[in-house]
Amino acid sequence: MKYGKVLLTGGSGTLGGHILKSGLFKNIIAPSSAELDITNAAAVEKFFEENDFDAVIHCAALARISECEKEPEKAMLINAVGTSNLVVAAIKKEAETGRKTRFIHISTDGVYQSTKGDYSETDEAMPYNRYGWAKLAAEASVNVLANFCIIRTRFLDTKNIKYDAYATDSYTSIIPVDELVKAIAIMADSEFVGTINVGGQKVSDYDAYKRYKPTIKPCKFEDIQGKTPFKLSKDASMNVSLWKKIQKQAGAEK
Ligand SMILES: NC(=O)c1ccc[n+]([C@@H]2O[C@H](COP(=O)([O-])OP(=O)(O)OC[C@H]3O[C@@H](n4cnc5c(N)ncnc54)[C@H](OP(=O)(O)O)[C@@H]3O)[C@@H](O)[C@H]2O)c1
Per-residue pLDDT reduced to its tens digit, 136-174: 999 999 999 999 999 999 999 999 999 999 999 999 999
Question: Per-residue pLDDT for 253 more than 80?
Answer: no
Minimum-distance ligand 1 atom for the alpha carbon of 58: 45
The closest alpha carbon to 128, from 75, 173, 65, belongs to 65
pTM: 0.98
Minimum-distance ligand 1 atom for the alpha carbon of 60: 24
Question: What counts of helices (H) and strands (E) characterise the chain?
Answer: 10, 12
Region 201-228 average pLDDT: 97
Is 108 within 8 Å of 132 (Cβ atoms)?
yes
Question: Per-residue pLDDT for 250 more than 90?
Answer: yes
**What pLDDT shows up at residue 2?**
80
**What pLDDT shows up at residue 52?**
93
Q: Write down the mean pLDDT value for the chain.
A: 96
Q: Classify the C-alpha dihedral 152-25-79-64 as positive or negative.
A: positive
The closest alpha carbon to 16, from 177, 136, 173, belongs to 177
Question: Per-residue pLDDT for 3 more than 80?
Answer: no
With a 6 Å cutoff on the Cβ, whether 184 touches ligand 1 is no
CA dihedral 44, 49, 51, 54 (to 10 degrees): 90
**What pLDDT shows up at residue 5?**
95
Please, what CATH class does the domain formed by 6-158+174-200 belong to?
alpha beta
Q: Rg (Cα) of the chain, in Å, rounded?
A: 18
**What pLDDT shows up at residue 89?**
98
Is 190 within 8 Å of 149 (Cβ atoms)?
yes
Phi, psi (rounded to 5 degrees) for 20: -65, -40
Region 113-135 average pLDDT: 98
With a 6 Å cutoff on the Cβ, whether 175 touches ligand 1 is no
**What pLDDT shows up at residue 4?**
84
Region 190-203 average pLDDT: 98
Minimum-distance ligand 1 atom for the alpha carbon of 155: 3
Question: Per-residue pLDDT for 199 more than 80?
Answer: yes
Is 120 within 8 Å of 92 (Cβ atoms)?
no
CA of 11 from ligand 1 middle (Å) equals 8
> pLDDT of 48-98, one tens digit each?
999 999 999 999 999 999 999 999 999 999 999 999 999 999 999 999 999
User: Across the chain, where does the E strand assignment appear?
Assistant: 6-9, 28-29, 55-58, 102-108, 148-153, 155-156, 165-167, 171-172, 175-176, 194-198, 203-204, 217-219
Region 103-129 average pLDDT: 98
C-alpha 41: how far from chain center:
21
**What pLDDT shows up at residue 111?**
98
DSSP string, 79-146: IIIHHHHHHHHHHHHHHHH-PPPEEEEEEEGGGS--SS--B-TTSPP--SSHHHHHHHHHHHHHTTSS
**What pLDDT shows up at residue 254?**
60
% helix / strand / coil in the chain, to the nearest 5? 40, 20, 40
CA of 92 from ligand 1 middle (Å) equals 25
Distance CA 28, CA 183 (A): 17
Question: Per-residue pLDDT for 252 more than 80?
Answer: no
Q: Classify the C-alpha dihedral 238-178-133-115 as positive or negative.
A: positive
**What pLDDT shows up at residue 229?**
93
> pLDDT of 21-35, one tens digit each?
999 998 999 999 999
